[in-house]
């Protein structure tokens, strides 16, 4: 067909003529929680956790999955992610960033579904979660998650690992006030390696400001609490 | 409906029941080219360029656009990007990385089209381009590109700017042998700021190895040519 202008072309255009494709969003929500240590002389250990929901319907009924859903005609990808988080986990107004789009041909048994994944970071002390459960990243890796969600979680961990070194996003997961050693532990969990305390303190110093408060913990000298410096860059 | 198993559910599942959505890939190909300087005493200046194609059909007929196309049922996003590059620009076997997925509701006049953008970096001396043209990034920003492609190019420039500091991807755009000052100029173009030569040499030193060759250029002391050190990390 030869069209003389774009409107004529569009009048003739039939979106139904192509094989159907669907687009979803899947949300990887990370948070730090404390796990009680068996050794009473140690403080509670922290762990990196991911939020999962148990699927109530087919496909993959009964399996754990990332909170996700189809992208509606009239919403952007980010709007879809915000809606999914609110409906499936109760989370609202949290840090959200696009991670990667997953398009393996057979990743969904229903039809061709391309999924745009988002990463959120939350401070677990400040949020209440409904219909969703925290799993440590290690526990999640052991579970057979629905679709390609194991792969998505793995990619998200890699991205987080890459970004905490050159951005300030780690603070989205921290309580308002924290000790330097607790912050170091969070870096160590995410990076998967031990850091040297003196070197860590030096690197992080200009992002932190002292408070007048101290952490009370039995059997230890109280540690000073810090907060993120306000003028420190946001990401 | 209550299904007793997943197969029963899938037999009933009708992908056509939902409003149609399409997924495309769009490719931002960057390369460094030399632009002749008007000042004869200076060497040719380098510039950061992006590859554009003139659209032959509606919509946006006659406008410049990123090389792009619909994602087929049986290809991954990356396979679609490779195919689009080959068909629309003649480029094959080049560095390719997913950038971001663009999902504004009205970004395409035909229907809801969500586009997954890829970034490629090429050494312009090694590739031959068909049906596509190089524009400097500044020229492209002045053009009214099709769809939201101005925004996609802008995002790609930001990503490149972010990544050249902590990866080695810049070398995908360099000839095999180059002077340190030519490499510095490429960094400066991408970062949009001047760098101090001594500091740059120090930062880059462990990524480079000397060759025995020198660049011959009239009116200048010959400069030694370097190449990327082979054991330097790839990205």
In the prediction, which pLDDT does A128 show?
84
In the prediction, which pLDDT does B17 show?
84
User: Is the pLDDT at B47 greater than 70, yes or no?
Assistant: yes
> How close is the nearest chain A Cα to the Cα of B5, in Å?
8
Chain A residue numbers with beta carbons less than 8 Å from the beta carbon of B98 are 100-101
User: Is the pLDDT at B86 greater than 60, yes or no?
Assistant: yes
A26: tokens are 């899947």
User: Is the pLDDT at B232 greater than 70, yes or no?
Assistant: no
Mean local confidence (pLDDT), B108-114: 95
In the prediction, which pLDDT does B43 show?
58
In the prediction, which pLDDT does B235 show?
46
In the prediction, which pLDDT does A62 show?
94
Mean local confidence (pLDDT), B115-138: 92
In chain A, residues 22-81 whose CB comes closer than 8 Å to chain B: 22-23, 58-61, 70-71, 73-78
Which residues, given as ranges, of chain A have pLDDT below 50?
A: 234-235
B5 three-class SS: coil
**Taking a C-beta distance cutoff of 8 angstroms, is the pair B217, B172 a contact?**
no
Which of A61, A73, A166 is opposite residue B6, by nearest beta carbon? A61
Q: What is the pLDDT of residues B140-180, one digit of tens each?
A: 999 999 999 999 999 999 999 999 988 999 999 999 999 99
Cβ atoms within 10 Å, residue B180: 17
CA nearest A165 in B: which residue? B166
- The predicted model scores a pTM of 0.92
Chain B residue numbers with beta carbons less than 8 Å from the beta carbon of A5 are 58
In the prediction, which pLDDT does A43 show?
58
**Taking a C-beta distance cutoff of 8 angstroms, is the pair A99, A155 a contact?**
yes
B33: tokens are 């080219």
Bridge partners of B35? B45
Distance CA A47, CA A49 (A): 6
Distance CA B228, CA B206 (A): 9
In the prediction, which pLDDT does B41 show?
52
Chain B residue numbers with beta carbons less than 8 Å from the beta carbon of A3 are 58
Distance CA B142, CA A98 (A): 28
* Nearest partner of A104 among B80, B188, B107, B46, judged by Cα: B80
Mean local confidence (pLDDT), B50-65: 95
CA nearest A61 in B: which residue? B6
CA nearest A111 in B: which residue? B15
List, in sequence order, every beta strand (DSSP E) within chain B.
21-35, 45-54, 64-65, 68-70, 95-102, 112-122, 133-136, 208-215, 223-228
């Amino acid at each position: 067909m030869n069209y003389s202008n774009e409107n004529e072309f569009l009048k003739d255009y039939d979106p139904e003529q192509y094989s159907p494709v669907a687009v979803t969003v899947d949300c990887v929500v990370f948070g730090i929680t404390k796990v009680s240590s068996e050794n009473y002389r140690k403080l509670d250990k922290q762990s990196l956790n991911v939020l999962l929901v148990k699927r109530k319907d087919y496909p993959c009924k009964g399996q754990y999955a990332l909170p996700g859903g189809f992208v509606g005609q009239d919403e952007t990808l980010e709007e879809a992610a915000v809606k999914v988080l609110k409906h499936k986990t109760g989370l609202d107004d949290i840090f959200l960033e696009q991670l990667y789009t997953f398009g393996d041909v057979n990743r969904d048994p229903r039809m061709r579904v391309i999924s745009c994944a988002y990463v959120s970071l939350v401070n677990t002390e400040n949020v209440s979660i409904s219909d969703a459960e925290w799993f440590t990243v290690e526990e999640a890796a052991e579970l057979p998650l629905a679709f390609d969600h194991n792969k998505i979680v793995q990619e998200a961990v890699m991205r987080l690992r890459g970004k905490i070194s050159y951005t300030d996003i780690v603070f989205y997961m921290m309580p308002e006030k924290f000790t330097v050693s607790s912050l170091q532990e969070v870096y160590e969990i995410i990076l998967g390696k031990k850091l040297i305390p003196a070197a860590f303190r030096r690197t992080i110093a200009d992002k932190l400001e002292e408070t007048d408060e101290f952490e009370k913990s039995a059997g230890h000298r109280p540690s000073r609490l810090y907060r993120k410096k306000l003028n420190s860059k946001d990401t």
